[in-house]
Amino acid sequence: MASPISNQAPRTVPLAQPKKNDDVLMVGFNKNAQLEADGLRARGNNVTFIGDSKAGQGKITAGGTQHDLNSDAGVDKYVGTLGLPADQTRRVGDVLKGIEPKARDEMGSLAGVWAKGEKGGTVPSRLVMSGHSAGSSMWGDDNGSIRYDQLKDLAKAMPKAAAQVEDLHLAACYAGTQQNVDRLREAFPKMNTMWGYHGSAPGSESGAVAHQRRWDAATRGRADTLDRDIAANTRKGENVSTWDDKNGLRNGQPPVPLDTLRQRVTGNEATFQQHFSGEQVQASPATGPLRDYYNQLQGLIRHPNLPAAERAPLEERRDQTIRMIYYGQNVAPKFNNEHSAALRSGYEAAGLGPAPNFGTMSRADALRSIRDLDAKVNADSPAAAREAQRLLHGLRDLNSAIIPDGWI
């Protein structure tokens, strides 16, 4: 006898939703970021820590296989192991290929964690990004750099995972801006809170752990507000910025008219030029007239009413200035170490004898030596001489294409 036909619609089983959690995913670009992860674990948190790869920068070990992300082919091979649809695999790969190779291991590992969320699993709802920053990007000492726009691009390529991120902590200098709030709200549509800094941030051993303990307590559960005053009376607590949807961005700073900020920067142009020419030398990276000028640039850049057309040249000047601040301490020595062979070949090819040590000479002497090379090199000069000139023009101009963030 035939079974009766039911007039009822077939029952559907709803897809399982990712579980709510207070887990923390920390991406640390500096070697001592492990201290921050340990500090959060000590409070009973389930922390997934991503640091600089032990296999070497730009390399990831996944499923027992080492993947070298320094090449596009290596990126393609790695993202192919994430188990994502072909189009999504391509999009994740395209994001990773656009990142500096030395930072691909951190961001590739982040994609590896998020891949679980793309396949219906649960990923940590709280994300900590720890490193150095000038406002638009993050990096580690002698490590690669990522732009916050690239973090956004990876999140948009992995939207199911990104939709599980509710609280974001940018443990980095000058990262707590309205511009970053806007781009990261787009990246993480369910973001409830964000913690950052409108000035310098404490390091792992000098206050970051204390700040993250307070952030942890304030963002457990389904917190939808975050008060910057919880960092009061801590080292660099005055530099904390917080955002939540109810209160917007709060940084404790009185509003300053845009024209006033423009006048401050313009009025201190001579400070930049004196240091850029080598006439003046910044005695300490932390304090001094050039650091003051840098802070004035940062204040102007983060003003919400600054026209977009003004922002790009100001950000370029900001990036030059931070390289000038660390010129003698980091930039010149690392430049000389990285390019000593090319400089030696170039000076010999130009008939100028041994190349000077740009790591130990003053900025003023370096500029004089570059002018001497320019007088000898033209379009018909040997390729080695022209390459040395190209590199030294990057040092002269403090060009981020030649002086990477990781050297600052």
**Tokens read off for 48:** 């997934």
How distant, in Å, are the alpha carbons of 36, 51, 92, 238, 305 from that of 82? Answer: 28, 19, 10, 42, 42
Beta carbons of 203 and 254 less than 8 angstroms apart: no
For the stretch 112-133, pLDDT in tens is: 999 999 999 999 999 999 999 9
Give the predicted TM-score (pTM) of the model.
Answer: 0.90
Phi-psi region of 118 (alpha: psi -120 to 50; beta: other; left: phi over 0): alpha
Residue 56: predicted pLDDT: 80
Measuring CA to CA, which residue among 179, 239, 164 is closest to residue 203?
Answer: 239
For the stretch 267-306, pLDDT in tens is: 999 999 999 999 999 889 999 999 999 999 999 999 999 9
When mean pLDDT is compared across 55-69, 265-279, 286-300, 378-392, the lowest value belongs to: 55-69
Percent of the chain with pLDDT over 70: 96
* Dihedral sign for Cα atoms in the order 255, 260, 266, 271: negative
For the stretch 349-363, pLDDT in tens is: 999 989 999 999 999
**Tokens read off for 204:** 């792992």
Residue 311: predicted pLDDT: 94
Residue 17: predicted pLDDT: 66
Expressed in angstroms, the distance from the first to the final Cα of the chain is 82
338-361 in b/e form (b: 16+ CB < 10 A) is bbeebbebbbbbbebeebbebbeb
Residue 197: in which H helix or E strand, if any? Answer: strand 193-197
Q: Tell me: pLDDT of 93 over 90.
A: yes
Torsion of CA 152, 109, 35, 127, to 10 degrees: 30
For the stretch 333-345, pLDDT in tens is: 999 999 999 999 9
What DSSP state is assigned to residue 230? G
Average pLDDT, the chain: 94
Mean pLDDT (whole number) for 322-336: 97
Which residues lie below 8 Å from residue 229, measured CB to CB, with a gap of 6+? none
Q: Tell me: pLDDT of 222 over 90.
A: no
How distant, in Å, are the alpha carbons of 57, 78, 116 from that of 64? Answer: 17, 12, 18
For the stretch 7-48, pLDDT in tens is: 344 444 344 567 789 999 999 999 999 999 999 999 999 999
* Dihedral sign for Cα atoms in the order 55, 61, 67, 71: negative
